[in-house]
Amino acid sequence: MSNTPMDADLTRSANGRIAKERLYHGLLFCCAALTVVVTVSIVVTLARDAVEFFGRVDPVSFFTGTEWVLRNNDPILGILPLVSATLVVTVVSALVAIPIGTAAAVYLSEYASDRMRSVLKPALEILAGIPTVVYGFFALVYLTPWLQALGLDVSLFNLLSASIMVGIMIIPMVSSISEDAMSAVPDSLRQAGYGLGATKFEVSTRIVIPASISGIFSSYILALSRAIGETMIVVTAAGMQSRMFDPTNPLSNLFNSGQTMTSAMVQAVTTDLVGGTAGYYSMFAIGLTLFCITFMMNLLSNRIAARYREEYQ
């Protein structure tokens, strides 16, 4: 039985669709593989130069040292002052971003009208699009003088201003992801709460937030990972003078300048350090340490999300 022209057209059309699907499959696979290749390349580059650094500097002294002085001859490379300043910025920024971001998410999800949400949510997203160097100059030029006007004995470059501005910067990440998680909670749970006589506040805090806790915690971890890796705000507003955290006088740590791991990397690449020295290779060791910290935080975020994820039919 011979094929008709219609059968031939159908065969060509089916072959064309199959070829297009294979093309789309290949393009999408390349896009997905590109992210893996870039990540692996970054890790390999950091690890290779970090090995060179640890061939020149004792790893024990690097991870336990309490002084950081970059210079070509006989540098003092102890990472603890950088880690302590980074943790200070992260903790203070979390104290700023988590309450405000969570409250904003609750309002957008449970209280705001559709019209108000259409205005407020894009406004919050704009904060995420502002260049971080603008945040840094705002902290230096406006926030620090304002803190001084309040009577706080802050220096021109200080960790407090930088931490507050980093917290403001990560508010959109907390609020946006948390609001998405809260909006995914089925309305049937809310209606059940209202049916039992609960107020809107009780439904929001005792039903919606517990039901979306995995997404909320994930937003916290991701936002803090972003805060740990922030560079331009701390470089501009916190300065580059490394100092060890003093547990007996915590306010002194906030009111004075400090150097985080990211700003130390900037200093290593922008000063007159000679290439091939221990000071030059230190930025790769810091970068690898920072990568490990953020990687562990992302793993923690995934574990929390998997542990407390709620599935609704």
Q: Does one domain contain both 12 and 151? A: no
Are 207 and 123 contained in the same domain?
yes
Q: Are 211 and 189 in contact (CB under 8 A)?
A: yes
Q: Examine the domain organization and report whether 184 and 265 are in the same domain.
A: yes
- Asked if 179 and 225 sit in the same domain, the reply is yes
The CATH number of whichever domain residue 144 belongs to comes to: 1.10.3720.10
Name the token pair of 135: 């945040």
Distance from C-alpha of 234 to C-alpha of 73, rounded to nearest angstrom: 27
Element (H, E) at 143: none
Q: Do 50 and 67 fall into the same domain? A: no
Same domain, 94 and 38: no
Domain count, the chain: 2
> What does each C-alpha distance from 249 to 46, 85, 86, 155, 245 come to in angstroms?
35, 14, 17, 16, 9
- Does a structural domain hold residue 264? yes
Quick one: 46 and 166 in the same domain? no
The reply to whether 159 and 247 lie within a common domain is: yes
Task: Classify residue 190: in a domain, yes or no.
Answer: yes
Confidence at residue 213, expressed as pLDDT on a 0 to 100 scale = 85
Q: How far apart are CA 57 and CA 54, in angstroms?
A: 5
Q: Are residues 150 and 217 in the same domain?
A: yes
Residue 80: closest CA among 245, 234, 228? 245
20 burial type by CB count under 10 A (0-12 exposed, 13-18 middle, 19+ buried): exposed
Alpha-carbon span 45 to 53, nearest angstrom: 12
- Does some domain include residue 144? yes
68-101 residues labelled b (16+ CB within 10 A) or e (exposed): bebeeeebebbbbbbbbbbebbbebbbebbbeeb
Q: What is the pLDDT along the chain (313 residues), one digit of tens a residue?
A: 455 666 566 666 667 788 788 888 889 999 989 988 998 888 888 888 888 888 888 888 888 888 888 877 777 888 888 988 898 999 999 999 999 999 999 998 888 888 888 888 888 878 778 888 899 889 988 999 999 888 888 888 888 999 999 999 999 889 988 888 888 888 888 888 888 888 888 888 888 888 888 888 888 888 888 888 888 888 888 888 888 877 777 777 788 888 888 888 888 887 776 667 788 888 888 888 888 888 887 787 777 767 766 555 5
118 and 31 both lie in a single domain: no
Range of the domain at 100: 63-308
Please check whether residues 112 and 11 belong to one and the same domain: no
Do residues 136 and 232 lie in contact, with contact meaning Cβ atoms separated by under 8 Å?
yes
pLDDT of the residue at 98? 92
Q: Report if residue 313 sits inside a domain.
A: no
Q: Is residue 158 part of a domain?
A: yes
186 and 129 both lie in a single domain = yes
pTM: 0.83
Residues 6+ apart with CB under 8 A from 184: 212, 215
**Contacts (Cβ under 8 Å, ≥6 apart) of 307:** 214
Answer whether residue 275 is part of any domain. Answer: yes
